Amino acid sequence: MSAEDGFFRGILDSLHDGVYFVDVNKRITYWNKGAERITGYESSEAVGISCSDNLLVHIDDKGINLCKAGCPLAQTLMDGRVRETEAYLQHKSGHRLPVFIRVSPLRDSSGSIVGAVETFSDNSSKAALLQRIDELQRESLVDPLTGMANRRCIDMKLYSRIDELRRYGWPCGLLFLDIDNFKIVNDTHGHNVGDRVLMMVARTLSSNLRSHDLLGRYGGEEFVAIITNVNMAKLHSFANRLRLLVEKSSVVTEYGTIRVTVSVGATLVRPEDTVEAAITRADLFMYNSKVGGRNRVSIDTMFEGNGQDLIKKGWSAGRLVDKGLVTSNIKFQSLGKIEPTRLPKKGRTMKR
């Protein structure tokens, strides 16, 4: 080895990344110190063998062996193109390491391909960082008990839906659901049973929504569902079906079978709504269902049996006044009965 070769090899050996050369037959001709450190294989174990001998057993995130299908090094030897990819190599001790790989062709003075160089870096810290970012995102947007969207996620999604309504006219409905007499469940059977009831309700609701709808836990025993592409008739149908399905669900415990019901408030989102205004309106109609006897749906616009909206006839919700007053002209009960009703002007005094 010439002094010049020794100089350049010294530079390569000082690199943190792994570097190795192969000839046109894919036989390894050089293996630097970085490659030794990352893989656990000494230069003497790697130099002279063919990379097709599958020393590092590279696989992609689907478990496909790259040395047998889609090897970037073999492809570069054929067409001379630079390639980059992420893969998982097998360390000498047997465990898998995520690595970032870059392959470049080696050419002689005439431009002919005489080999290739592969550099690879340990991606473990990046993978751990990405995993932690994903965990943090989940923690910030997902309710830890139910695994559903949390209040922050609901607010973000509703903000987007209101923006879509303003921009494109895409209709959107909102359901506010509250488990009836949930405090009695907790006080009688304990919070562990209460948590199981919450999970049962959450799963019943989420399992019976469409893929593009969103269900979230808004707090305590309250849930909010954002229903896209609906009119008032469809929204009422959704709400009443969910109410009925919860009523027909149960949790078997050591204390026996526990059943609960939900009171529901339903409203169509309006272009002038803020997130807070839409949620408050749906919440107030839910409270209207509580006042009316629980286990029912209150909705803010009346429609005929054929689904024809009667807004033009004056049947619509009153405006929010003084940060929380609302007048609802109608209430849909579980059997479909329509009754005029008015929400209280003062704070709520009844148990939910």
Q: Is the pTM of this model over 0.85?
A: no
Lowest-confidence region among 66-75, 116-125, 305-314: 305-314
Of 45, 221, 276, 339, catalytic: 221
Residues 309-327: what's their mean pLDDT? 32
Of 66 and 83, the structure prediction assigns the larger pLDDT to 83
Please answer whether residues 126 and 143 qualify as being in contact, where contact means their C-beta atoms are separated by less than 8 angstroms: no
Q: What is the pLDDT of residue 300?
A: 74
Q: What is the pLDDT of residue 127?
A: 64
Q: Please say if the pLDDT value at position 335 is more than 50.
A: no
d(CA 147, CA 217): 9
Average pLDDT value over all residues in the chain:
82
Q: What is the pLDDT of residues 12-32, one digit of tens each?
A: 888 889 999 999 999 999 999
Residues 225-239: what's their mean pLDDT? 93
Residue 135 annotated to the active site: no
Of 40 and 351, the structure prediction assigns the larger pLDDT to 40
Selection from 131, 153, 130, 129 nearest residue 140 by Cα: 153
Give residue 92's pLDDT band: very low, low, confident or very high (50, 70, 90). Answer: confident
Which percentage of the chain shows pLDDT scores above 90? 57
Please answer whether residues 289 and 263 qualify as being in contact, where contact means their C-beta atoms are separated by less than 8 angstroms: yes
Give the residue carrying structure tokens 């973000």: 156
Q: What is the pLDDT of residue 195?
A: 96
Residues 63-81: what's their mean pLDDT? 87
Residues 289-311: what's their mean pLDDT? 65
Q: What is the pLDDT of residue 321?
A: 27
Selection from 114, 53, 105, 59 nearest residue 83 by Cα: 105
Tokens of 254: 């050591």
d(CA 185, CA 262): 13
Strand 256-258 with 251-253, pairing: antiparallel
Residues 303-318: what's their mean pLDDT? 34
Q: What is the pLDDT of residue 95?
A: 86
Q: Please enumerate in sequence order all residues whose Cβ is within 8 A of that of 263, keeping only pairs 6 or more positions apart, or say none.
A: 177, 178, 180, 286, 287, 289, 290, 294, 295, 296, 298, 352
Q: What is the pLDDT of residue 56?
A: 83
Of 339 and 175, the structure prediction assigns the larger pLDDT to 175
Residues 268-291: what's their mean pLDDT? 93
Q: What is the pLDDT of residue 325?
A: 28
